[in-house]
Amino acid sequence: MKTKAVRIYGKKDLRLEEFELPQITEDEILAKVVSDSICMSSYKAAEQASDHKRVPNDIAENPVIIGHEFAGELIQVGANWQHKFKAGQKFSIQPAIYYEGGPVGVLSAPGYSYRFIGGDATYVIIPKDVLIQDCLLAYDGPGFYPASLAEPLSCVIGAMHANYHTTPGSYIHQMEIVQGGKMAILAGVGPMGLAAINYVIRREDRKPSLMVVTDIDQSRLDRAASIYSPEWAKENGIELIYVNTGNVEDPVAKLKEISGGTGYNDVFVFAPVAPVIEQGDAILAFDGCLNFFAGPSNPQLSAKMNFYNVHYAYTHLVGTSGGNNDDMVESLEMFGKGLDPAGLVTHIGGLNAVIETTLHLPQIPGGKKLIYTHVDMPLTAISEFKEKGKTDPFFAKLDEIVAKTNGLWSVAAEDYLLANAKNI
């Protein structure tokens, strides 16, 4: 079967090409990709190419398919996996497989390391590496885009689970955020921050009593508040406060004041910016845990940390990169309980838009850029549907559909797009 895919050959060298996939083996699965959300990690891979820890050294001769937040439908299942999967099933992928025998060893991952699997393709071959680690996950929910966004949500879930706290006099770490505690999410209204807010509010097993979310862009804060309102959070037992720290003379003092002077048990930093990291350290409560969530592209990134507090106030630091299989499963389960990740999505496009979008991702405002891989469509902000609809009936109908969901993407919008968009 032929596939169309965006492959990486070198630094900033991405190419949309059509090529033949090999016949699958009894340990592989042929799959149709429907949607892929573009991650900043793909931008980093495109920038760094073989210098990236997950990208093989021989991509100039054996290019790999990019994209790792994807979902689709199984087409043909190899004999050794027919007891577990069947054609027609919808799927999501946990890409951080850490497989010893992969193209780059334990750090191998679909979307970075493999010639025949990645999210920015029409058809892919799911290899044995993914299957033997249970990283192919069946998805039974509505639509496809939630399953594409399961991976970014799993990163947030993993971060929450990775935080820890201690008991004075004991060296036992109590994993997780503090139940009923105070949480701060700094630089928290980008796509991943929005996922964190959504998840924290919807959790049933554990949640803070106070959640403060900061940013320096008021329009982004306003959008976040319109999607995840303080009123809705209050209904779920959380006092949610959005703060524009760009308008505050002393952000640390302001944030401490909001906490009642105690500081925060759990602080999450969603931007790889030294002043934000240092701000997070400065607002930690006794035994507070700072989670540096944002993955930096600069290997020399450093920030100051108060080591007096590390010693006497038991403050500590953790960092996570991606989620594990359990986090992905929890992510998909959350969708079944009503969590809709549409709030993360601000742009829609087709496979033809992937190269330009990936290479310029830091300069494109908004949240997640959702790609439908069988579609030919320029990357378009959902907020632009109405204007484009004045001359294009296709966008006029999309605007009509998303207007029913407060301007958010939806399964109905996805269904209409898949049925009516131009094929790639």
* Tens-digit pLDDT profile for residues 197-216: 999 999 999 999 999 999 99
- Which amino acid makes up residue 279? Q
pLDDT confidence band for 295 (50 / 70 / 90): confident
pLDDT over 90 (residue 171): no
Average pLDDT over every residue of 302-306: 96
**pLDDT attached to residue 264:** 98
Q: CA-to-CA distance for 252 and 249, rounded, in angstroms?
A: 9
- Which amino acid makes up residue 13? D
Nearest Cα neighbor of 152 from 348, 368, 312 is 368
pLDDT over 80 (residue 245): yes
Q: CA-to-CA distance for 236 and 216, rounded, in angstroms?
A: 26
* Tens-digit pLDDT profile for residues 44-59: 999 999 999 999 999 9
- Which amino acid makes up residue 118? G
**pLDDT attached to residue 323:** 79
Q: CA-to-CA distance for 233 and 353, rounded, in angstroms?
A: 36
pTM of the model: 0.81
**pLDDT attached to residue 392:** 98
**pLDDT attached to residue 103:** 84
Q: Is 172 exposed, middle or buried (0-12, 13-18, 19+ CB in 10 A)?
A: exposed
Burial 73-83 (b: 16+ CB within 10 A, else e): ebbebbeebee
Question: Helix or strand or coil: residue 131?
Answer: helix
pLDDT over 80 (residue 106): no
pLDDT confidence band for 191 (50 / 70 / 90): confident
Question: Helix or strand or coil: residue 205?
Answer: coil
Average pLDDT over every residue of 339-350: 92
Pairing verdict, β 182-186 and 210-215: parallel
The Cα-based distances of 366 to 224, 324, 346, 383 in angstroms read: 11, 27, 6, 10
**pLDDT attached to residue 291:** 97
pLDDT over 90 (residue 36): yes
- Which amino acid makes up residue 111? G
Structural domains in the chain, sorted by start: 1-148+340-424 (3.90.180.10), 155-319 (3.40.50.720)
Q: CA-to-CA distance for 165 and 225, rounded, in angstroms?
A: 30
Q: Which residues contact 321 (CB under 8 A, 6 or more apart)?
A: 96, 155, 295
**pLDDT attached to residue 338:** 81
pLDDT confidence band for 271 (50 / 70 / 90): very high
Kindly state the DSSP code that residue 355 receives in the 8-state scheme. Answer: H
Question: Helix or strand or coil: residue 93?
Answer: strand
Nearest Cα neighbor of 248 from 221, 287, 269 is 221
Q: Give residue 12's region: left, alpha or beta (phi > 0; psi -120 to 50).
A: left
Average predicted confidence (pLDDT) for the chain: 94
* Tens-digit pLDDT profile for residues 360-391: 999 998 889 999 999 999 999 999 999 999 99
Average pLDDT over every residue of 255-280: 97
CB 36 within 8 A of CB 126: no
pLDDT over 80 (residue 67): yes
Half-sphere exposure of 110 (CA within 13 A, CB side): 29
Q: CA-to-CA distance for 156 and 192, rounded, in angstroms?
A: 7
pLDDT over 80 (residue 356): yes
Q: CA-to-CA distance for 69 and 138, rounded, in angstroms?
A: 14
Percent of the chain at pLDDT exceeding 90: 81
**pLDDT attached to residue 70:** 96
Question: Which pair of structure tokens corresponds to residue 274?
Answer: 């030294």
* Tens-digit pLDDT profile for residues 312-337: 999 999 998 777 888 988 988 888 78
CB 348 within 8 A of CB 380: yes
Nearest Cα neighbor of 71 from 35, 125, 39 is 35
pLDDT over 80 (residue 252): yes
pLDDT over 80 (residue 28): yes
Average pLDDT over every residue of 295-321: 92
Average pLDDT over every residue of 118-131: 96
Average pLDDT over every residue of 126-130: 95
The Cα-based distances of 29 to 86, 108, 133, 147 in angstroms read: 10, 18, 14, 18
The Cα-based distances of 117 to 91, 108, 187, 328, 345 in angstroms read: 14, 12, 33, 19, 23
Residue 80 sits at the vertex; the CA angle it makes with 75 and 82, to the nearest 5 degrees, is: 45
CB 148 within 8 A of CB 92: yes
Pairing verdict, β 64-65 and 90-93: unpaired
CB 114 within 8 A of CB 66: no
For residues 331 and 86, which has the higher predicted lDDT (pLDDT)? 86
Question: Helix or strand or coil: residue 31?
Answer: strand
Longest dimension (CA), the chain: 69
Question: Helix or strand or coil: residue 244?
Answer: strand
